[in-house]
Amino acid sequence: MALREDVAAILARATDLPLETILGAPDVDTLGLDSLSLYDVLFELEKAFLLEISDEEAGQLHTLLDFEALLQRKLAEAAAVERST
């Protein structure tokens, strides 16, 4: 499954919305996530991808593309660190 779909699946579980709705949403704010649900999503992403998302980074996540870009960057950074050790 592609990274975007992985993120969308986690968002779908948190919001009880269909995956298609998540994938078509213009931004995460339209999904009706409260702050607690958003932190649940962030926790699930951290657990699923074995990485940490700072509060500053979380504040910049407004669209599915934002989530995808952040995860791609963090996964690339982790891979680079792993290769250098």
Exposed, middle or buried by CB within 10 Å (0-12, 13-18, 19+), for 6?
Answer: middle
Given this model, what pLDDT does residue 84 score?
86
Residue 48 identity (one-letter amino acid): A
User: What domains does the chain contain, in order, with CATH numbers?
Assistant: 3-84 (1.10.1200.10)
Given this model, what pLDDT does residue 32 score?
87
Q: What is the pTM of this model?
A: 0.87
Q: Give CB contacts under 8 A, 24+ apart, made by 68-77.
A: 68/3, 68/4, 68/7, 71/3, 71/7, 71/45, 72/3, 74/49, 75/49, 75/51
Given this model, what pLDDT does residue 1 score?
56
